[in-house]
Chain A
């Protein structure tokens, strides 16, 4: 069935370092891949998405890489800050299905 999973359940990084959060997906038919951030006590917040025909997309301090050959997605956060501490979900979206399927999440800890 459909599934989006994560390689690492927790990641701890030093403030100022770059963070890389990885994700494996299984549904090759997905049109978009998405990253959401969920801070404690809040709902998920959209960070960035990438269309399935792209391999890289950059946002503000974030870069998403898509490797369709190995069905792998990653989120890179530059100069990680304490405010980046949260759970990060990768997700996939299939336009025909009108729904976003979320993975299990990775918790990012930023050490001061």
Chain B
């Protein structure tokens, strides 16, 4: 168990809908990262937050947004969903803002139908 909790584990929704994925980092970790894993794209970095502030951005679509709350949990919002958004979404956390070792949750599998 990495100590990172993601909910829900599975999510099935229709195209055009909006969903929110939630992540609770390891106790004491200030950084949260979001990754998307699909079969043809591997693990794609989306965004990082550090202590409530956006720290780094990857190839995150404008339809996607994230935030980190004062209690350090994070949410990834995906809107106007398309079939191609079906993927595993991972959250990871690390103690500091710049770290090679991140602890990953078990992921949320999103299926858009």
Which residue of A32, A34, A41, A99 is within 8 Å of B56 (Cβ)?
A99
B45 touches A32 (CB 8 A): no
Query: What is the CB-to-nearest-CB distance from A54 to chain B, in angstroms, rounded to a whole number?
Result: 13
Per the 8 Å Cβ criterion, residues 22-50 of A in contact with B are: 32, 34, 41-46, 49
B101 touches A49 (CB 8 A): yes
Task: Give how many B residues have a beta carbon under 8 Å from the other chain's beta carbons.
Answer: 25
Is residue B17 contacting chain A, with contact meaning CB distance below 8 A? no
A97 touches B43 (CB 8 A): no
From A10-18, A75-83, A102-110, the one touching the partner chain is A102-110
The answer for the CA separation of A45 and B90 in the assembled complex, in Å, is 12
Give every chain B residue within 8 A of A97 (Cβ-Cβ): 56
B45 touches A102 (CB 8 A): yes
Which residue of B45, B100, B104 is within 8 Å of A43 (Cβ)?
B104
Is residue A63 contacting chain B, with contact meaning CB distance below 8 A? no
Give every chain A residue within 8 A of B105 (Cβ-Cβ): 43
Is residue B42 contacting chain A, with contact meaning CB distance below 8 A? yes
**With known contacts A49-B101, A98-B48, A99-B56, A43–B92 Cβ distance under 8 A:** yes
Task: Give how many A residues have a beta carbon under 8 Å from the other chain's beta carbons.
Answer: 21
Is residue B106 contacting chain A, with contact meaning CB distance below 8 A? yes
Give every chain B residue within 8 A of A49 (Cβ-Cβ): 100-101
Is residue A93 contacting chain B, with contact meaning CB distance below 8 A? yes
Is residue B21 contacting chain A, with contact meaning CB distance below 8 A? no
B103 touches A46 (CB 8 A): yes
Known: A43-B2, A98-B50. 17 other contacts (CB 8 A): A42-B106, A43-B107, A46-B101, A46-B102, A46-B103, A49-B100, A49-B101, A89-B42, A95-B98, A98-B97, A98-B98, A99-B48, A99-B58, A100-B33, A100-B100, A102-B42, A102-B44
Give B residues with C-beta under 8 Å from A: 2, 4, 33, 35, 42-45, 48, 50, 55-56, 58, 90, 92, 97-98, 100-107
Interface pairs A-B: 8 shortest CB-CB? A43-B104, A102-B43, A98-B56, A49-B100, A46-B101, A99-B56, A32-B100, A104-B42
